[in-house]
Every structure is written in structure tokens, then in C-alpha cells.
Amino acid sequence: MNDKQQHQIAVIGAGPAGLMAAEILSAAGMAVTVYDRMPSPGRKLLMAGRGGLNLTHSEAFETFATRYGAASERMRPILEAFPPAALVAWAEGLGEQTFTGSSGRIFPRTMKASPLLRAWLRRLGEQGVTLRTRHDWLGWDDGALSFHGPGGPVTVKPDATVLALGGASWPKLGSDGRWSEPLAARGVGMAPFQPSNGGFVVDWSSLFRARFGGTPLKGIALRFEGQSARGDAVVTEYGIEGGAIYALSAPLREAIARDGKAVLEIDLRPDMTRSRLTDKLSRPAKGQSLATFLRKAAHLPPVAVNLLREAGDLPAGGALAALIKGVPVTLTATQPIERAISTAGGVSLDAVDDDLMIRALPGVFAAGEMLDWEAPTGGYLLQASFATGVAAARGVLAWLGE
């Protein structure tokens, strides 16, 4: 085929990975059709932008590349080929100027996903990309892609396919993981889906649960099995969640699966040394209640004071300081996968080659969260989704000899 337009490419999934693959391929002259089972594209992207669209992170790349846990080595070259600076330049090319927050996270100045998505869809339309919504992918039928479309069965036989169907969290937004069945049936190696960046169950006392459910724990530090994270968390009626928790979700989840529980340590005053805290707590209380004394001496809010009480009877002096620097909280289960921000599991990274082509399915590439990698919130999720979309598209072009 000498005419690039003769190459028909199907992209299944209209999230960040799929739309990015469509952009790269259409810019290279391919005839691209994007299929999605939802009525409109980018639904999970829009949900991610409701609280401020965290595109990526400004930290040094050497640190950034380690945020993908067990998949870091495999993800590194993919991220190097489309790093945070490239994602920022891409967003600004769509007219969405960005800024870096105090935490190092990078956002569009509008803090929303909708303007970015509108500009992106406009660009894709100008590049000739066809979008077909309400097309539910069923697998293959005699070598052709099979969909249930608005008018009934649809089959297409493209020259190459990019699968970007998401993970298994937030199924109402489109990614329900059902795509794993037709892939597994064709011998594609799969890892089981697990919740990532989600909450954990804690057996709070009824009083603590009723009084503090929904209350933030700000500026804390967490420790678990030699790993640590700083940030905020939220006490919930079922347990605990939040950014600092998400940063440790993989080892916490694995410990619960292995031991039936995970004992997390929460440092309520990470900016104060234990000796300094002991000194402050050794001063006379002068008739103050314990809660008042701790609020004034250690600057602990009521939720933190009562979190200490959840651990048992409060000691005094240095022992109390030690408890403040490491309150044990026992996590007993993860929240359901449907309520997680993202998932681990999916297509095994061993099942795809360096261009993200599925080894068992020549000409079929996988991108985005349907691959078995995970990362904490903070821009790492979206960065990898975009970067794997770029990698899969470039893989398609290489496979087609373009």
C-alpha cells in the first residue's frame, strides 16, 4: 500500500490514550475511526477534571519514572518518548495554558477538562478522524472486529487496531473491564484487576465514625513497610482515603491480600521532631482538658486527638509524643474496585512487545489503563495514559512500514 490513506485504523476507546493514538495516526495520514461504547467521548477525563485536571507533574524525570512501581522499568522508555514537558507543550498547543502548583503538579489554567477536550476533538475532526459512539466492542468475528452498534451488529476489518478500553474502575463512565474476556480467549496474558488509588476499610468506633466521617487529616506523613508518603487524607465512615493513602495503595493492598490486614502508621506532626514534641508535652497542662492541651501544645485538631484515642488509652510525655509521631491504624480491606480512581491488572506487560503490540495478536496494540501498570494520583496516571497512546500509535506506524 503506497497511499497512506489506504491504511484503515480502528481505535477502540475514546479516552486519553485512544484519542492520543488517533491524533498521532491521523496526523501521519492514516484513516482513523474511533469507537466508544458511551454516548460521548472522554467521560473519565471529564470526571478527572471536576476537581482540577492534574495533567502531569514537574518533578525531576528520574524521580517521576519511579512512580510506576513494579512496572517502572518497562514504562520508563515509553515516558522518555513522551515526557511531561511534551504533554505540557501538547496542551498549550491546543490553547490550554498550564501552571505548576505548590505541590509540583501541573494543571491547565482553566482547571477543567472540558475546554481541553473540546479543542482536542476539534483538532481530531480537522485531521479527518471519525468518531463512532454507542459502539460496544464484543471481540472478533471471523477475524473482523465485532461491535454492537446503535443499529445492531457492526463488523470492521482494519489494517491495524489500537485497544484503549481503560481499566475496570468507574464502570458507569465506560471502562468496565469486560474487554478482558475476548482477549483472554485469544491467549493474551492477563493480570487480575485490583483497585488502585482507592480507600481502605478501618473499623472505627461508632463515635469516631459518626463525628469525624468526612473530616480531612491535613499535612500528615504515612509509613508502611519502609515506604512513606506525605500529604492529606480523609477520614470516612468506612475508613480512610486521600492522596497520601493512594501513594501507598499498592503495598497496603498487597499486605491485606497476604495477611488480612495492614497496620499503617500516621505521623500527625511530621514537621516536628519527637524530642521537640516531647518537650512541648512535658509542660504543665494548667487545668486544661487533654483535647485543649494537645491542640495548644501540639497543634492537633479534634480529628487528630480522637484518632489518638482510637489507638487506646493515651500515655503521657515521651510515649504520647511517640504515638503522635506514629499512630497505628489497622486497614482490613480495600474499597470495591468500582469506587477506585484507577486499577492495577489488565493486559500483562509481558504480553506486549516494546511497541505495545499484543504478541498473540499481530497488528493489535494496547494502550492506557488496560495495560498492567499503576501509579499514584498526582499527574502520573494521565501522563502514562497519554504516553502509552503515543507509543501504540508509533508502533502501528512502524508495523505498517510508515
The mean pLDDT value for 43-49 works out to 89
The mean pLDDT value for 168-189 works out to 94
**Cβ-proximal residues to 133 (8 Å cutoff; 6+ apart), any chain:** 14, 36, 37, 38, 39, 40, 41
pLDDT number for residue 55: 97
Q: Determine the Cα–Cα distance for residues 5 and 374; give it in Å rounded to an integer.
A: 36
Q: Determine the Cα–Cα distance for residues 239 and 236; give it in Å rounded to an integer.
A: 5
Whether residue 212 is predicted with pLDDT greater than 50 in this model: the reply is: yes
Q: Helix 290-297 to helix 302-310 angle, to the nearest 10 degrees? A: 120
Instruction: Give me the residues paired with residue 331 across strands.
Output: 202, 262
Q: Determine the Cα–Cα distance for residues 217 and 231; give it in Å rounded to an integer.
A: 9
Angle at 156 between CA 151 and CA 157, to 5 degrees: 175
Superfamily of domain 4-195+343-399: FAD/NAD(P)-binding domain (3.50.50.60)
The domain locations on the chain are: 4-195+343-399, 200-334
pLDDT number for residue 1: 39
For 124-141, write each residue's pLDDT tens digit.
999 999 999 999 999 999
For 285-317, write each residue's pLDDT tens digit.
777 888 888 998 899 999 999 999 999 988 887
Would you place residue 4 in the very low, low, confident or very high pLDDT band (cuts 50, 70, 90)? very low
The mean pLDDT value for 367-386 works out to 97
pLDDT number for residue 314: 86
**Cβ-proximal residues to 80 (8 Å cutoff; 6+ apart), any chain:** 61, 65
- 130-132: strand order across its sheet: 130-132, 31-35, 8-12, 160-163, 364-366
pLDDT number for residue 8: 98
